[in-house]
Amino acid sequence: MLQGSDGKPAGVRMTGVASFVPYRVTHATVYSYEETVSRSQQLLHLAPRAHPRQRCVEHDIGIDPLPARRLDRVDSFGNPVSVLEFDRAHRALAITSTMRIEVAPRPPLDLASSPPWQDVVDGFGYRAAQVLDASTLEASRYRFESPFVRIKSAFADYARDCFSPARPLLAAAQALMEKIHREFTFDPAATHIATPLLDVLANKRGVCQDYAHLMLACLRSLGLPARYVSGYLLTRPPAGRPRLVGADASHAWVSLHDPVHGWVDFDPTNKVRPGTEHITIAWGRDFGDVSPQRGVILGSGAHELEVKVTVVPWG
């Protein structure tokens, strides 16, 4: 590991007691249309979300052609979004998000110190005249079915051996993450956005989006609150190979609500609990809530899409 003159790892900024690791991220998207587009509306989740372990130093979105109107706002999940409207004819649309971001390490966590998972489920049960606190009320919205995450007994059954009676919530979730990683094969050709989760479970193949959706379905089918997190992951080139510009990609993982420890992240694709190498962009019920870019267009016919993501340390 490279070190600076102060003996600390190069690229790590020391601020008080927290060590913030700095990154530069570029996410470039280019749509090339077969025919002219006369009008277009786009919704972007490309601005990084601020939270206690992450801070944005600088962010910019380059757009070509320039939109006729742009509205920057916050969505119903608290994520920053940009709404773009184009009213001039165009044959291509290029959107490039660039940011400098700093991520702090998560404190050590004793998985056994979380409450029994069944007690957590019981805590969300209805009781006459009960008033839920703000964190429990917020978590409740992530217990239910969503467009890409179904609640089915098959998902609960798959997770059951990890969630034995009285097992601590986080220990059970860790076991589920490890089971999914062990039994599933990462295969970009196996699925697409509309592939049903029951098919993913049956075939045991998919990408990070599928891994995250499956873990969410298992947790919610057991009655637990869990949300989908989108962002970026620092990837490392093979030994002796240079880091390739544009070779990275968007990533997805899961965040589970623990009434003692708050939201705790799990990455079933890589069998890790996210730390300083995971950069958060947005969270919601599933991919549909936080898609980096989606929209509607008038015209175009067929189109080609090119996406390049680069994540590099800086400083």
Give the number of other Cβ atoms within 10 Å of residue 28's Cβ. Answer: 17
Banded model confidence at residue 239, pLDDT cuts 50, 70, 90: confident
> Do 243 and 174 fall within a single domain?
yes
Range of the domain at 178: 111-274
The overall pTM is greater than 0.85: yes
Rounded to the nearest angstrom, the gap between the alpha carbon of residue 56 and the centroid of all alpha carbons in its chain is 17
Question: What pLDDT, in 10s, does the model give residues 126-156?
Answer: 776 677 788 888 999 999 999 999 999 999 9
CATH number at residue 230: 3.10.620.30
Banded model confidence at residue 262, pLDDT cuts 50, 70, 90: very high
> Do 161 and 115 fall within a single domain?
yes
Q: Give the residue, 184 or 16, on which the prediction is more confident.
A: 184
* pLDDT value, residue 131: 75
> Do 305 and 211 fall within a single domain?
no
> Do 158 and 69 fall within a single domain?
no
* pLDDT value, residue 3: 32
On whether residue 280 sits in a domain, the answer given is: no
CATH number at residue 63: 2.60.40.2250
Q: Give the residue, 264 or 35, on which the prediction is more confident.
A: 264
CB environment 205-221: b (16+ within 10 A), e (fewer): bbbbbbbbbbbbbbbbb
**Is the pLDDT at 8 greater than 80, yes or no?**
no
Total domain count, the chain: 2
* pLDDT value, residue 297: 87
* pLDDT value, residue 6: 35
Question: What pLDDT, in 10s, does the model give residues 271-299?
Answer: 999 999 999 999 999 999 999 999 888 87
CA distances from 201 to 184, 211, 225 (A): 9, 10, 20
> Do 139 and 267 fall within a single domain?
yes
